[in-house]
Amino acid sequence: MKKIALVLSAFLLTAPALANQGFYGELSLGSANNEIETDYSYDYNSDSLGDVQIGSDSGTLKSSGNSTSYGVRLGYQFNEYVTAEIGYHQYGTWDDTFVNENNETIKDQAETSATSVGIKGVLPLSKDFSLFARLGSATWDIKTSSSDVSAPAQVKNQKQDGTDIYYGIGGEYNINKRFSVGLEYTVLNIDWDNSYGNGNDDIGYSNEFEGFTSNSGSINNLALLLKVKF
Judged against a pLDDT cut of 90, whether residue 187 lies above it is answered with yes
Q: Terminus-to-terminus CA distance in the chain, angstroms?
A: 36
Please give the model's pTM, rounded to 2 decimal places. 0.77
Taking the CA of residue 158 as centre, how many other CA atoms within 13 Å lie in the half-sphere pointing to its CB?
Answer: 17
CA–CA gap between residue 76 and residue 55 (Å, rounded): 58
pLDDT reported for residue 115: 97
pLDDT reported for residue 200: 58
pLDDT reported for residue 14: 44
Coil vs helix vs strand at 109: strand
CA–CA gap between residue 212 and residue 171 (Å, rounded): 42
pLDDT reported for residue 100: 65
pLDDT reported for residue 11: 40
Give residue-wise pLDDT tens across range 48-97.
Answer: 656 667 767 777 878 888 999 999 999 999 999 999 999 999 999 988 87
Percentage with pLDDT > 90 across the chain: 50
Q: At a CB cut-off of 8 Å and minimum separation 6, what does 225 contact?
A: 26, 27, 28, 170, 172, 180, 181, 182, 183, 184
Give which of 181, 162, 160 is closest to 170, Cα–Cα: 181
The letter for the amino acid at 38 is: T
CA–CA gap between residue 211 and residue 56 (Å, rounded): 9
Judged against a pLDDT cut of 80, whether residue 141 lies above it is answered with yes
Contact present, 122 and 134 (Cβ < 8 Å):
no
Q: At a CB cut-off of 8 Å and minimum separation 6, what does 179 contact?
A: 226, 227, 228, 229
Judged against a pLDDT cut of 80, whether residue 155 lies above it is answered with no
190 confidence band (pLDDT: 50, 70, 90):
very high
151 confidence band (pLDDT: 50, 70, 90):
low
CA–CA gap between residue 36 and residue 212 (Å, rounded): 16
Other Cβ atoms within 10 Å of 126 Cβ, number: 8
pLDDT reported for residue 7: 39
The letter for the amino acid at 183 is: L
The residues pairing with 126 across neighbouring beta strands, listed in sequence order, are: none
